[in-house]
């Protein structure tokens, strides 16, 4: 299995995975082409229905085969094939559905004759409904009971997020995270999946590398990874992305914050949905937030609430990716806020 460990491979995922003799993946995340005519470098995204479904069965078959008995699989898919894929996993592979997640994003494509589509399905299945990884602690968010009512009955670690995810904006042109890939998922979304469904040292497989987001986040979070793409250019860009991510652990501006810690701070802020002023003014909420951040970062010297509050205020409008993109646009066009 060494030839697959921590590799970004160029090739057809079905052919590459066929070579694996035994299950190795603790977690599979797959975001295949949706068959809706997207322009990829090396893949034609407009196949006949039968052809697309037969190919879908092939790659799902390989992914399920290399998934360990205690493993989890997440598949991102559009409206066109979500129902068929659910049945393939459930009826043909006997996997158990945990959640049918809806990723709801802003910036849906506008059309004149129907409502704008603003979601992607993420089907979350496990091989064994009694034995799988679900690290609820690291993904819990501050609950309304804690936020609004300071209710003592509230679970002190917060609540498990709902299955409609509206806290992750689609990556648009001006986002600093943006690579050259035509459809790129946000790192924050992958971080939630990887954190909850795998442990440090576990092995994450993404058969459709694209921009390399899954491998990059897996690497940042101390997981092993394997990812594959037909396009040499995408593979090269993804390798560079991972190599560059090593630098993200260096301190910025000598204030004890690394780029990665800043990214985690932004992600956590987005997920908890507490307005900045409320968060910084409430000792109770700030303590909860700081605890969650430290839990995610696992630093030897955890941040204090004062450091977190100061950093949050410093980052201000750039905490939300949409606002950050807006101010970048303004900077580029010389407009003052
Ligand atoms: C929807 S994109 C993945 C995007 C990725 N999740 C991201 O966020 O960057 C699908 C990718 O699958 C690749 N692809 C298509 N057919 C493939 C195959 N048979 N094996 C490996 N990769 C393939 C395409 O080149 C494209 O980059």
Lowest mean pLDDT segment, chosen from 82-96, 239-253, 272-286 = 239-253
Q: How far is the CA of 200 from the centre of ligand 1 (A)?
A: 25
Q: 226 forms bridges with which residues in the sheet? A: 7, 205
For residue 210 and ligand 1, the question of a CB distance below 6 A is answered with yes
Query: For position 176, what pLDDT does the model report?
Result: 78
Average pLDDT of 130-139?
A: 97
Give the residue ranges of DSSP H helices in 26-124. Answer: 49-66, 79-87
Tell me which of 29, 210, 238 to substitute to probe ligand 1's pocket, judged by most ligand atoms within 8 Å of the beta carbon: 210
Query: For position 180, what pLDDT does the model report?
Result: 82
Query: For position 336, what pLDDT does the model report?
Result: 35
pLDDT greater at residue 318 or residue 61: 61
Lowest mean pLDDT segment, chosen from 226-230, 305-309, 312-316 = 312-316
Instruction: Give tens-digit pLDDT for 321-337.
Output: 665 555 445 544 444 33
For residue 181 and ligand 1, the question of a CB distance below 6 A is answered with yes
Average pLDDT of 252-260?
A: 80
For ligand 1, atom 21, which residue shows the shortest CA distance? 229
For ligand 1, atom 6, which residue shows the shortest CA distance? 31
Cβ contact 142:158 at 8 Å = yes
Q: Whole-number mean pLDDT of the chain? A: 91
Instruction: Give tens-digit pLDDT for 140-183.
Output: 999 998 988 777 788 999 999 999 999 998 887 777 788 888 88
Distance CA(329)–CA(172), nearest Å, equals: 12
pTM: 0.93
For ligand 1, atom 22, which residue shows the shortest CA distance? 229
Instruction: Give tens-digit pLDDT for 172-231.
Output: 777 778 888 888 999 999 999 999 999 999 999 999 999 999 999 999 999 999 999 999
Query: For position 216, what pLDDT does the model report?
Result: 97
pLDDT band at 124 (very low <50, low <70, confident <90, very high): very high
The domain ranges of the chain are 7-248, 250-332
Query: For position 337, what pLDDT does the model report?
Result: 30
Cβ contact 204:182 at 8 Å = no
Bridge-based pairing state of the strands 96-109 and 203-206 = unpaired
Fold designation for 7-248: Rossmann fold (3.40.50)
Query: For position 171, what pLDDT does the model report?
Result: 86
Answer whether residue 126 shows pLDDT above 80: yes
Take residue 41 and report the two structure tokens written for it. 């470098």
Cβ contact 319:269 at 8 Å = yes
Query: For position 254, what pLDDT does the model report?
Result: 65
């Amino acid at each position: 299995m060494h030839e697959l460990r921590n590799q970004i491979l160029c090739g057809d995922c079905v052919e590459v995975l066929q070579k694996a003799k035994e299950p190795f993946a603790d977690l599979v995340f797959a975001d295949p082409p949706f068959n809706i005519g997207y322009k990829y470098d090396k893949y034609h995204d407009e196949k006949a229905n039968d052809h697309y479904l037969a190919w879908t069965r092939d790659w799902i078959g390989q992914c399920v085969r290399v998934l360990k008995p205690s493993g989890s699989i997440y598949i991102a898919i559009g409206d066109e094939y979500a129902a068929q894929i659910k049945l393939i996993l459930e009826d043909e592979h006997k996997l158990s559905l945990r959640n049918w997640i809806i990723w709801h994003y802003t910036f849906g494509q506008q059309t004149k004759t129907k409502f704008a589509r603003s979601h992607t399905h993420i089907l979350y299945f496990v091989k064994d409904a009694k034995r799988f990884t679900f690290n609820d602690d690291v993904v819990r968010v501050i609950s309304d009971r804690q936020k609004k009512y300071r209710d003592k009955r509230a679970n002190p670690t917060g609540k498990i997020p709902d299955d409609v995810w509206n806290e992750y904006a689609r990556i648009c042109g001006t986002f600093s995270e943006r690579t050259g890939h035509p459809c790129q998922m946000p790192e924050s979304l992958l971080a939630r999946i990887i954190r909850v469904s795998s442990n440090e040292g576990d092995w994450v497989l993404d058969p459709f590398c694209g921009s390399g987001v899954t491998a990059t986040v897996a690497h940042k979070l101390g997981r092993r990874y394997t990812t594959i793409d037909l396009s040499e250019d995408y593979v090269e860009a993804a390798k560079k992305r991972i190599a560059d991510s090593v630098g993200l652990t260096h301190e910025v501006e000598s204030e004890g914050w690394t780029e990665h810690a800043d990214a985690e701070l932004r992600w956590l802020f987005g997920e908890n949905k507490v307005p900045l002023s409320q968060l910084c003014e409430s000792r109770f909420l700030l303590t909860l937030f700081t605890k969650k951040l430290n839990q995610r970062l696992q630093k030897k010297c955890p941040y204090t609430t004062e450091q977190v509050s100061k950093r949050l205020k410093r980052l201000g409008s750039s905490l939300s990716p949409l606002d950050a993109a807006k101010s970048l646009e303004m900077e580029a066009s010389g407009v003052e806020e």
